[in-house]
Structure 1
Amino acid sequence: MADPLDIVWSRPLPDGAKPSTVTVSQDAAGRWFVSLLCEDPHVTPLPPTDAAIGIDVGLNHLLTLSTGEKIANPRHERRDRARLAKAQRELSRKAKGDGANRRKARRKVAKIHARIADRRRDLLHKLTTRLVRDNQTLVIEDLTVRNLVKNHTLARAISDASWGEFRSMLEYKAAWYGRQVIAVDRFFPSSRMCSVCGTVQDRMPLSVRTWTCACGAAHDRDVNAAKNLLAAGLAVSVCGAGVRPQRSSPGGQSAVKQKTPRREP
């Protein structure tokens, strides 16, 4: 095997980039990585655009956009679940200690985990890059993933969807390219509110995927939520951060209130 340091200089750095730190590391799967810390002058803001989009994350579909586009959830962990379970059973049968057979079995498990994580990360990079390049304003829901994974029924699926990593990528790429990411309060009733007339339904179980408002508008649950997120996010960008969800929702009233700004004495 070649010296890992040989890999560093086998690929040229971007024009103008100046390396300052080189880090060589090995992960649990036995793969070597070389990281170069440098300033890249080519990361500059993109030309401004008027496009804005609302993004609703989910499990049936990984993302649903306010344009009506739905991006399938590939469920990377589920695809390799049988292979991972078999490797973990083999590891559990190995004698405890630091024997060669146990190390080999442990590395086999790590390789499957790495394969799942790499495919998930690759998809998220492609999606977030496309969204940031095409839109000036991106509106998402401010979900607390650490609380959501406490639901033992959905914890594995939520972790596999990696909503937290999606948001992290979206935010740092938006900062790179001069875009704006707006997070709407998680209590905002995006799924229960009609995006046409603003009426808020009393209840909306997760099993309900399509519904019809009293005004006659038929809604896909996720597309409707993405449209409402976009509208709320644009209100935040225009009015400031004083937009909060309305807890009581009498029929026909708006689902957001604006805080009245204090007058300076």
Structure 2
Amino acid sequence: MQAKFTGKAIRFALRVIPSFRVFNSRPLPEGKIKDGACFSQDSRGNWFLNIVIEVAKSPVRPLDLGIGIDLGLKGLAVLSDTNRILAPGFHSKAEAALAVAQRAHKRRRIKAVHAYTARRRLDFLHNESLKIARAFDWIAVGNVNAAGLAQTSLAKSVLDAGWSSFLRMLAYKAVRHGARYVEVNERFTTQTCSDCGALPDSRPRGIAGLGIREWICSDCGAAHDRDLNAAKNILRRGRATLVAGIPVL
């Protein structure tokens, strides 16, 4: 639906829909408003107007510097350049305040705690994904099934980490900044030696191997941190995908 701003209000093309006064937390980007008729409400009852704006495409950067990302629960992600993004655990930190509010049956307080936790998580994910999109020309991540894991015993940790939101942010911010985003098959990325490419007998395997965080390749002798090794393998697979010319975001 067509809409345009007139002062501090937004006016729709149809007469049956009135003008709405809105508070701009930040200036809108330059571009044509394609849709401005989508409203949403948060857990505290606050209303938001979601606006779709057509903006100019960013020029695609040369594929010079890439990064592989392995998602985790104790840490949000391990990068192939050895950097790590810690998982703040916003929900776990708010559990005490939430429990007090629930025992006292304070519904407004419960909603406020949930909303505050969600805002903090989103702000954190926005900042971290933006840093990566700006720093690297292409981004490779494993095709982890976050929605599937959210139905298992790991649901609480997966949802608190915000994997799905993080990947979604990486995808569209990469496009916005002229970078490439590609998801690759993460199967055996923790077990494959990132130095020689072998699947050695000494690799951590099965449920028993989940607790093994460091291992040595019996084929070439390379010592590996489990998560960093996976990130390096994801980087290699991402590079192979881009070189092969497979369409990516």
**TM-score band, normalised by the shorter chain?**
0.7 to 0.9
Give 1:5 shift: 4.3
Please name the residue that 1:110 is paired with. Answer: 111
Give 1:151 shift: 2.6
Give 1:50 shift: 0.7
Indicate how the Cα distance of structure 1 residues 139 and 83 shifts in structure 2: closer, same or farther if over 3 A, else same. same
Equivalent residues of 1:23, 1:36 under 8 A apart: yes
Matches within 5 A, 1:84-163: 84-91=98-105, 105-152=106-153, 154-163=154-163
1:22-54 deviation per Cα after TM superposition (whole angstroms, max 9, x unaligned): 65654331334343343344x633644511010
Q: 1:206 aligns with which of 204, 210, 215?
A: 210
- SS of 2:104's equivalent? helix
Give 1:202 shift: 6.1
Indicate how the Cα distance of structure 1 residues 233 and 11 shifts in structure 2: closer, same or farther if over 3 A, else same. closer
Please name the residue that 1:190 is paired with. Answer: 189
Please name the residue that 1:260 is paired with. Answer: none
Please name the residue that 1:226 is paired with. Answer: 231
1:106-127 deviation per Cα after TM superposition (whole angstroms, max 9, x unaligned): 2211111111111111111111
Hey, what's the Cα distance between the residues in 2 that align with 1:171 and 1:54?
A: 14
Q: Does 1:35 align with 2:56?
A: no
Indicate how the Cα distance of structure 1 residues 47 and 235 shifts in structure 2: closer, same or farther if over 3 A, else same. closer
Give 1:208 shift: 0.8
Indicate how the Cα distance of structure 1 residues 22 and 137 shifts in structure 2: closer, same or farther if over 3 A, else same. same
Please name the residue that 1:82 is paired with. Answer: 96
1:155-188 deviation per Cα after TM superposition (whole angstroms, max 9, x unaligned): 21111111111111111222333322111124x2
Indicate how the Cα distance of structure 1 residues 52 and 151 shifts in structure 2: closer, same or farther if over 3 A, else same. same
Hey, what's the Cα distance between the residues in 1 that align with 2:24 and 2:151?
A: 45
RMSD of the alignment, in Å?
2.6
Indicate how the Cα distance of structure 1 residues 9 and 221 shifts in structure 2: closer, same or farther if over 3 A, else same. closer
Q: What is the TM-score with the length of structure 1 in the denominator? A: 0.75
Please name the residue that 1:67 is paired with. Answer: 81
Q: Does 1:53 align with 2:57?
A: no
- SS of 1:197's equivalent? coil
1:177-211 deviation per Cα after TM superposition (whole angstroms, max 9, x unaligned): 3322111124x211111111122136162211111
Give 1:11 shift: 6.5
Hey, what's the Cα distance between the residues in 2 that align with 1:25 and 1:202?
A: 46
- SS of 1:206's equivalent? helix
Give 1:64 shift: 0.4
Please name the residue that 2:13 is paired with. Answer: none
- SS of 2:51's equivalent? strand
1:124-156 deviation per Cα after TM superposition (whole angstroms, max 9, x unaligned): 11111111111121110111122212332x221
Please name the residue that 2:242 is paired with. Answer: 237
Consecutive unaligned residues of structure 1, counting only runs of 5 or more, are 92-104, 242-265
Indicate how the Cα distance of structure 1 residues 23 and 223 shifts in structure 2: closer, same or farther if over 3 A, else same. same
- SS of 1:80's equivalent? helix
Consecutive unaligned residues of structure 2, counting only runs of 5 or more, are 1-8, 10-18
Count matched residues. 223
Hey, what's the Cα distance between the residues in 2 that align with 1:182 and 1:22?
A: 32
Equivalent residues of 2:42, 2:115 under 8 A apart: no
Equivalent residues of 1:56, 1:63 under 8 A apart: yes
Indicate how the Cα distance of structure 1 residues 75 and 44 shifts in structure 2: closer, same or farther if over 3 A, else same. same
